[in-house]
Chains A and B, each alone.
Chain A
Amino acid sequence: MSDPNDLSRGEQRAFDALPRETEPPPGLEDRTVALLRARGLLATPLRPVAAAPRRVNPMWLIGSIAAGLALFLSGTAVGQYLGARTATIAAAVGAGASYAERAEHVQQASSRYLEALASLNRGSDSADTATRLAATQAALSALGAAAEEVSRLAPDDPLAAAVMRGLADRAREGREAPTRTVVWY
C-alpha cells in the first residue's frame, strides 16, 4: 500500500530533473588552495604555479601580432639609432679623450648593453624564432668581442678567459664563431 505522502510520478520526475552538479565559479579553486596553504595544509610552491591554459581570442591574437610587429619595427629603429650613436661616440672617444673618460665610457656602454639585453629578454615571448636567433647572435657577438678586448686589457683575468674559451668551444662545435661584427637587425 502506497503512502499518500509518497512522491507522485510527476513529482519524482521533477526531482530527478534537478541538476546534481554545478560547475563552481572560476577562482574558487585557487581561493580554496590559498586558504589551505595559509593554514599550512598544503605546501607553498617553490616556483609560481603555471596559469591555466586560456582559449585564444582571435582579436587578442591579431592584437598580439600587431604589437609584436610594432615592437620589432621600433627595435629596428632603436638599433639603427644606437648604431649611429655608437659610431659617433666611438669617434668622440678616440679623439683625444683621457683614459678616465674612456673608462667612464666603457661603463656607460656596458650599462646600455645590459639594458638592451634585458629589453630583449622582456620581448622574447612575442618574437619569432628567426628574430630571436638573430638577437641571440648579436648579443653573443658583442660578448665575444668584449671578452677579446678585456683579455687584452687584463690578460690574466679568468672571467674574460672563460668567456673566450666558451665561445671558442662553441665555434668548434660547428656553430657560427663569434665575430667582432655586431649584427643590427
Chain B
Amino acid sequence: MALPALALESERALAERALEGDELAFRQLYRKHTPRLYQLLRRLLSGHDADAEDAVQDTWLKATERLGDFRWECAFGTWLCAIGVNVAREQMRRRSRRPEVEWPEGHEPPQAAPLERVDPMDLERAVAALPDGYRTVLVLHDVEGYTHEEIGAALGVAAGTSKSQLFWARQAVRASLGGRRKGIDA
C-alpha cells in the first residue's frame, strides 16, 4: 500500500496513533523497524525464514498489545527487538528444532585460538549451527552490540552467565571455522 510521504512525525506520535488503531501510523512504524527486526530474528532462528516471519508477526502483535505500557525510556527499536528476542526464544523452546546442547563441564568444545581471516558467509553458517542459547548470546553481543548486563536483563539471566555463554559460543564458532579452513586447506 502506498503511504503518504513520511512526515517528520516522532515515533512516539506514530505509536500513539497506532495505539488508537491508526493503520497508516502502524505501517510507518512497521516499515521503519521491521528490516532490523527481521534480520535479527532470522539470525536467532538459524536462518529459517518461515520461523522468522512468524516471529515478526508475533513480535508486532505483542508490541502493539503492550504499546500503552511502553515508557519511552529506551529507543522504540531497542524495545521492539527485546520483545523479538523473547518471541524467538519461545519459538526455540516450543519447536525445539535442535536440542539445547550446552556442553557440560569437562566436555566443552576444544579451545580454539582467534582466527585472523574469517569469511562472513562462513561465520553466518557457524553462528546458525550453534546451540540456541549460545547463538542468542553471541548474536546479541557480537552482532547487535548489547552489553552482558543488557543481555542478562533481556534473557533473565545473570551477566556472568551471559559472559560464560559468550566464551563457549566463540570457542565453538572458532572450532567450526577452523575445521572448515583445515578442510579447505587440505
A residues apposed to B, CB below 8 Å: 4-11, 13-15, 17-25, 28-33, 35-37, 39, 41-43, 45, 49-53
Contact = CB atoms under 8 A, between A and B. Distances in A.
Nearest to A9: B116
B57 A7 contact: no
Interface string B77-116: 0000000000000000000000000000000000001111
Contacts of B56: 24, 28, 32
Contact of B21 (A28, A43, A53): A43
Contacts of B144: 20
B23 A42 contact: yes
22 contacts: A4-B114, A5-B170, A7-B142, A8-B116, A10-B115, A10-B118, A14-B123, A17-B120, A18-B123, A18-B124, A19-B39, A20-B143, A21-B38, A24-B34, A28-B56, A29-B27, A31-B57, A35-B61, A41-B21, A41-B65, A42-B21, A45-B23
A22 B117 contact: no
Given A22-B38, A24-B53, A42-B23, A13 B1 contact: no
Interface in B18-63: 18, 21-23, 26-27, 30-31, 34-36, 38-39, 42-43, 49, 53, 56-57, 60-61
Contacts of A6: 114
Given A23-B35, A28-B56, A52-B2, A41 B118 contact: no
Contacts of B38: 21-24, 28
Given A5-B170, A22-B35, A24-B34, A52 B42 contact: no
B64 interface: yes
B167 interface: yes
A36 B123 contact: no
Contacts of B118: 10-11, 13-14
Contacts of B22: 42-43
Nearest to A17: B120
B114 A11 contact: yes
Interface of B: 1-2, 18, 21-23, 26-27, 30-31, 34-36, 38-39, 42-43, 49, 53, 56-57, 60-61, 64-65, 113-120, 123-124, 142-144, 166-167, 170-171
Nearest to B21: A43
Which 9 pairs show the lowest CB-CB distances between chains A and B? A8-B114, A14-B118, A43-B21, A21-B35, A22-B39, A17-B120, A10-B116, A24-B38, A14-B123
A33 B61 contact: no
Nearest to B113: A4
A51 B1 contact: yes
A33 B142 contact: no
A13 B116 CA distance: 10
A151 B74 CA distance: 73
Contacts, number: 111
A30 B166 CA distance: 37
Contacts of A21: 35-36, 38-39
A11 B141 CA distance: 13
A43 B49 contact: no
Given A8-B114, A14-B123, A51-B1, A33 B34 contact: no
Contacts of A45: 23
Contact of B30 (A20, A32, A52): A32
Given A24-B53, A39-B61, A43-B23, A7 B170 contact: yes
Given A5-B170, A8-B116, A22 B42 contact: yes
